[in-house]
Structure 1
Amino acid sequence: MTGYADPRRIEAMIEGLDRFTATPGRGTTRLTYSAEYRAAADFVAGWMRDAGLTVRQDAVGTIIGRIEGRNPDLAPILVGSHLDSVPNGGRFDGPAGVVAGIETAFLFRDLGLVPDRPVEVVAMIEEEGTRFGGGLFGSRLLTGAIGPEALEDLRDGQGVSAAEAMRAYGLDPARAGEAARAPGSVHAFLELHIEQGPVLEAEGRDIAIVETIVGLAQLRVTVRGQAAHAGTTPMDQRRDALVGAVGILAQLPDLARQVGRGAVLTVGRMEVLPGGANVIPDLVTFTIDLRAPAEADVLRLIEMVEGTVAHAQGNGLSCTIERQLYAPPTPLSDQIQTALLAQAEGLGLSHRVMVSGAGHDAMILAGLAPTGLIFVPSRGGVSHAPEEWTDYAQLARGTDLIFATIRQMSGAVPG
């Protein structure tokens, strides 16, 4: 096997990025438009310049590094991922794909290659949905699925709107639409990601080529009751929002089991107000993340959850449910899968084809341009935790595949 990518350079970029966290020693916490995010974006831009890229920040804060092509008017190939994280997450989720794109640019420079069409390395803003909810925020802005008018309504846990956060970051939310790519303006998108599961490590394979990304929805449930004194309010006269919420929560896991066929459901965030130890809660909000390989199962599970929430109303409680994100199962480009398989064979990489149970920016970009997604092994299948780990040699092998495929797709030749 011919290796191109430099594991030491990849390690330097990953480890350098991991310094920019709000929770040192407790994993990576890097929220969009935070001080940590700004430092990470500047760090990435510096590495892009070192690789010979022309760097710019777009209207929503995505960092873009460009290798100019011999025919600069041709639609570019995009490669990259996101820079934000979940709370107390790992160092590889998102940054691995950004670093693979930057390392590809280093290889173009080191080998003296000039592409026929431009290549752009993208470090996108929020994918995880940790700050503003819904997930895939950056790629939805990039494809025009979210317009500037929505930015005033999207708010974080402290009530700060996406528009306000953008202004504090030095961006003008009124210009957010300028970040959207028009149909036909992107030739292809490639993303490398850690698997976030145990399959590749268990099978001893170098990479996986993703054929489909599961459908997913993210919901936000609000239960309203009445705050009252914990000691003086009789049990039969309480309007306890938390008791109502727990009644809903207790039923949710069985809904996914009833649907079966790979359906999963997770309650990941919950807030109870007013939050006093001696106050009956009057407001509870929680999120529901649900996924399934078949769209019919996703839709059925959403309907079952909505029915469960509606049934919980009464006894002085009101319940509402909001769909923050819906993305159907996404088949990825057959043409790019074929190209990735051919290059994997040529590089001598052991590989397989698989379905992704996690959502990725690739599922949104697939609506704009032919898209390919590859996975590299995750140690123990652990992800979204400080223990998340992928060996740098494995990242280098995945980057070799990204590089070889982009070199072929871009028509790159020695300059």
Structure 2
Amino acid sequence: MLSSNIERIKRDIENLARFTSTPGQGVTRFTYTGEHKKAMDYIVEEMKKAGLKVRVDSFGNIFGRREGKKNLPPIMVGSHIDTVKNGGAFDGQAGIVAGLELSRVLKEKDLKLDAPLEIVALIEEEGGRFGGGLMGSRALAGLFEEELYNLRDEEGIILFDAMKYFGLSPEKHEEARLSKGSIACFIELHVEQGPVLEKENKDAGIVEAIVGIAQYNVTIRGRADHAGTTPMNMRLDALLKASEVIQNINRWARQKDDYTVATVGKIKALPGASNIVPKEVEFSVDIRSINESSMKDIAMKIEDNLREMNGEGFETKLTNLLYVKPVFMDEKIRSVLNKTAKELELSTKDMVSGAGHDAMILSNICPVGMIFVPSHRGRSHCPEEFTSFDQLKKGIDLLINAVINLDGEIQAGLDFFPAGG
């Protein structure tokens, strides 16, 4: 069994963490920024050192390719390069580092797989700058187009313009699309972002499914009035109505018994003065579930709730930013991961991911699998996010040897992945 180098893993994680706009306050690396460019340059250089042929697509996704013995669709490994605001050093980055280390080990051992290998660093998974998220993987799956001209960051910069300024070619966005079956499979290593593996003292999680995600923006417009002279029964208070919807969203999610969750994490009231009745409110809604019908049910209830307000003199709007169905990991890949873990004498746990990942989007074009490594105290999306390098090495060792086993299975004449993914 092959083994990764813990010192190289540590070096990569620490070096990538330096590319942040908030030094000392976690890692903040938004898409198409100076920090993003520095991280890209580092990854490209490390890919080249590992003997990979590098290309960058029209969205800024980075690919490092190692040719195989045969003309076959590649096995793809990777994760995302961006972070949330004041995030941690492991979310996304751990999966890219795993791919880099896999490439280095294969080069050192002079081991050539039958299938080509591609390491990918994807952009804007978190949606931290432009919202929506999973942008790089959606571009690969052909699920991203009109947002190029509609999405803006907090400074009002249109996504299309930001890409052009970054030196990319958004007008050629279709060139980033990968056809179904062009990739043999995609494996993503990721930190768990929860406390389960650490609490149960497990080395790795084998992901069975990823919850679906629906993200919306809600706008409620009422009327601005003087806070002291306008009677309570004569107001069109947009913030008051927003609070009613938010309370309802919480209640509707709690009524489900299938691990459905709903979150309002961002809200803005205008004009934003203490002595003026709020005229307009915008807030976000994030709905996640392993059951798509529950996601749709809550969205429908929100629409009905807003429609009732229209009859009371308010103007409302519900905008869908992202909708991804629940995704189940490929059973054959899960079987290989479990088999490989036993060979390495690693303890594992089958898990459902409550967070979204690029793997769920890439399932549209190829079979996918995911490995989780423990998160200390379950912390993530914060500066305290941490996975010990010993634990990360175990997960990367699992990934490396699973890729070799997958390559062997594909070539065993078992029709492991039928043509077309």
Shorter-chain TM band: over 0.9
Aligned partners of 1:117 and 1:156: how far apart in 2?
40
Any idea what SS the aligned residue of 2:219 has?
strand
AA paired with 2:176? A
Task: Tell me how far 1:56 sits from its aligned partner.
Answer: 1.6
Match of 2:123 in 1: 125
Select which of 337, 341, 345 maps to 1:344: 341
Structure 1: where are the runs of 5+ without partners?
none
Structure 1 position 3, deviation (Å): 6.3
Q: Which residue of 1 aligns with 2:320?
A: 323
2:170 paired residue among 151, 158, 173: 173
Matched, 1:51 2:50: yes
The answer as to 2:222 corresponding to 1:225 is yes
Q: Distance in 1 between matches of 2:88 and 2:228?
A: 43
2:31, 2:129 within 8 Å by CA — same for their partners in 1?
yes
1:77 and 2:72 are equivalent in the alignment:
no
Matches within 5 A, 1:16-415: 16-71=15-70, 73-147=71-145, 149-411=146-408
Shift of 1:203: 0.8
In 2, Cα distance between the equivalents of 1:38 and 1:231? Answer: 51
Q: Give the conservation status (yes or no) of the 8 Å contact 1:90–1:384.
A: yes
CA distance in 2, matches of 1:250, 1:298: 17
Structure 1 Cα separation of the partners of residues 270 and 167 of structure 2 = 33
Q: Give the match's secondary structure for 1:221.
A: strand
Cross-structure match for 1:11: 10
Match of 1:194, as an amino acid? V
Q: 1:302 and 1:315, CA in 2 relative to 1: closer, same or farther beyond 3 A? A: closer
CA distance in 2, matches of 1:196, 1:20: 21
- Contact 2:206/2:334 (<8 A) preserved: yes
* Deviation readout 1:212-261 (Å, 9 max, x if unpaired): 11122111111112334445544444333222212211222111111232
Q: Secondary structure at the match of 2:286?
A: strand
Query: Partner amino acid for 1:89?
Result: G
Please, what TM-score do these two structures have when normalized by structure 2? 0.93
Q: Alpha-carbon deviation of 1:277?
A: 4.0
Counterpart Cα distance in 1 of 2:380 and 2:11: 21
Q: 1:308 to 1:69 in 2, by over 3 A?
A: same
Paired letter, 2:314: L
- Amino acid of the residue matched to residue 362 of structure 1? A
| TM-aligned CA deviation for residue 387 of structure 1 | 0.9
CA distance in 1, matches of 2:225, 2:161: 34
Contact 1:134 1:325 in 2 (8 A): yes
How far residue 280 of structure 1 moved from its aligned partner, in angstroms, is 3.3
Amino acid at match of 2:103: A
Shift of 1:169: 0.6
Contact 1:7 1:393 (8 Å CA) reproduced: yes
Are the equivalent residues in 1 in contact too, given 2:333–2:406 (CA < 8 A)? Answer: no
**Residues 3-47 of structure 1, C-alpha deviations (whole Å, 9 max, x = no match):** 611121111111111111122221111111111111111111122
Which residue identity is paired with 1:38?
A: K
Distance (Å, rounded) in 1 between the aligned partners of 2:230 and 2:6: 64
Equivalent residue of 1:113, what SS?
Answer: coil
Amino acid at match of 2:57: D
Relative to the length of structure 1, the TM-score reads 0.94
Cα distance between partner residues in 2 of 1:130 and 1:312: 31
Identity %: 46
**Superposed CA RMSD:** 1.7
Contact 1:259 1:301 in 2 (8 A): no
Cα gap change, 1:229/1:39 in structure 2, threshold over 3 Å: closer, same or farther? farther
**For the residues of structure 1 that align with 2:277 and 2:164, how far apart are their CA atoms?**
38
Aligned with 2:54: secondary structure? strand
Runs of at least 5 residues in structure 2 that lack an aligned partner in the other structure: 410-421
Query: How big is the shift at 1:307?
Result: 2.4
Post-superposition offset of 1:335:
0.8
Mapped partners of 2:276, 2:46: distance in 1? 52
Measured in 2, the distance between the counterparts of 1:272 and 1:25 equals 31
State the SS of the aligned residue for 1:212: strand
CA contact (8 A) 1:213 1:330 kept: yes
3-state DSSP class of the match of 2:155? coil
Distance (whole Å) between structure 2 residues aligned to residue 276 and residue 57 of structure 1:
46
Distance 2:207 2:247 in 1: 34
Q: For each residue in 1:339-382, what CA deviation from the matched residue of structure 2 results, as whole angstroms up to 9, or x when unmatched?
A: 11111111111112111111111111111101110100011111
Deviations 1:123-182 (A, max 9, x none): 0001112222222111111110113x4311122222222101101111121111111101
1:314 Cα shift?
4.3
